[in-house]
């Protein structure tokens, strides 16, 4: 009897840790939908991990991901969001288009966005200071000021230019906002061409070259950003200068200006960490950009035969040689 009692007690002692482990809280899951091209890696993952790490979250240790790619196609979002909701993720992260689709699908799962589109005017949040509901995030743009700066750069670097073209993706609210800002800021916009998939890029840029525009402005969205090296190669082949947001600075743009995309995503991840720790999106005001970058690419300038004024170089935050 004593031996049987001992064995029974031993069995209980062995089983107890297994029960304890089973009762531990589940690891939170973040659903992330990437709107960039499926053929290209997500270059912002470093910022994504950095912000989470600052909040004490480490992938595989105390947070995990359900990762999806929309390949620039907004019509894929409802199905991707529905899958994440069905899997009961703890938070959804993405662009304005992702956030809007997620907001339609769920009123309870927190949503964090990083976008260049005005979140109030497109109906994502009630106001910047009091978002309300289950959505908050980071606004990367400085509105018409950033666009006006790009136009100013066209005048400084390419004084003979009388018309510019713009590459647009109507699937992105960010790009639509950019296009409106460009149209209101300048009177020499020559042609807007659309590209909604990677195969559209070459014919779109060929059309701009045939229209003899003097410079190319890139609509601000993750799809174009993910393909920026290919866009730059196509433009350089026809000696067409690119002026865009900072993400294009190292990939061939003659000049770039705007809010730091890397820092914006990092701030978005910090918000995600705060929400996972218990704060509510409704109590977290939409963050505005605080860090802006002017990047001049002297290597590209040399290839294009463009002379960069010393005064402009002195103002640049970064000069690529």
pLDDT for 265-300, tens place per residue? 889 999 999 999 999 999 999 998 877 889 999 999
Distance CA 173, CA 32 (A): 18
Q: What is the CA radius of gyration of the chain?
A: 24
Q: pLDDT averaged over the chain?
A: 84
- As a whole number of angstroms, the longest Cα–Cα distance in the chain is 101
Distance CA 127, CA 137 (A): 12
25-51: average pLDDT: 76
Distance CA 43, CA 73 (A): 19
**pLDDT of 237 over the 90 cut:** yes
32-52: average pLDDT: 73
The number of residues making up the chain comes to 321
**pLDDT of 223 over the 60 cut:** yes
Distance CA 281, CA 247 (A): 28
- Of 9-13, 60-64, 69-73, 173-177, the range with the lowest mean pLDDT is 9-13
Confidence of residue 225 (pLDDT cuts 50, 70, 90): confident
What 3-state class would DSSP assign to 25? coil
* Lateral strand order in the sheet of 189-194: 189-194, 164-168, 216-218, 242-244, 255-259, 292-297, 318-320
């Amino acid at each position: 009897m004593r031996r049987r009692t001992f064995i029974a007690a031993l069995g209980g002692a062995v089983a107890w840790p297994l029960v304890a482990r089973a009762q531990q809280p589940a690891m939170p899951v973040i659903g992330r939908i990437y709107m960039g091209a499926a053929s290209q890696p997500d270059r912002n993952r470093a910022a994504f991990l950095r912000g989470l790490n600052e909040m004490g979250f480490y992938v595989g240790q105390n947070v995990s991901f359900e990762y999806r790619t929309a390949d620039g196609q907004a019509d894929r979002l409802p199905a991707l969001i529905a899958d994440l909701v069905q899997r009961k993720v703890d938070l959804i992260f993405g662009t304005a288009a992702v956030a809007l689709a997620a907001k339609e699908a769920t009123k309870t799962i927190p949503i964090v966005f990083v976008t260049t589109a005005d979140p109030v005017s497109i109906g994502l949040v009630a106001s910047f200071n009091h978002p309300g509901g289950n959505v908050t995030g980071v606004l990367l743009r400085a509105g018409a000021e950033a666009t006006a700066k790009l136009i100013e750069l066209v005048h400084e670097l390419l004084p003979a230019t009388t018309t510019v073209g713009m590459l647009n993706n109507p699937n992105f609210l960010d790009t639509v906002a950019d296009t409106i800002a460009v149209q209101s800021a300048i009177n020499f916009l020559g042609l807007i061409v659309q590209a909604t998939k990677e195969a559209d890029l070459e014919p779109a840029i060929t059309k701009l070259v045939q229209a003899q525009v003097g410079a190319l402005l890139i609509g601000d969205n993750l799809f174009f950003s993910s393909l920026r090296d290919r866009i730059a190669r196509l433009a350089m082949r026809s000696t067409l200068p690119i002026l865009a947001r900072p993400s294009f600075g190292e990939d061939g743009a003659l000049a770039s200006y705007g809010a730091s995309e890397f820092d914006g995503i990092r701030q978005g991840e910090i918000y995600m960490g705060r929400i996972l720790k218990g704060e509510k999106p409704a109590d977290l005001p939409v963050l505005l950009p605080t860090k802006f970058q002017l990047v001049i690419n002297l290597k590209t300038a040399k290839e294009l035969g463009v002379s960069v004024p010393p005064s402009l170089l002195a103002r640049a935050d970064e000069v690529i040689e």
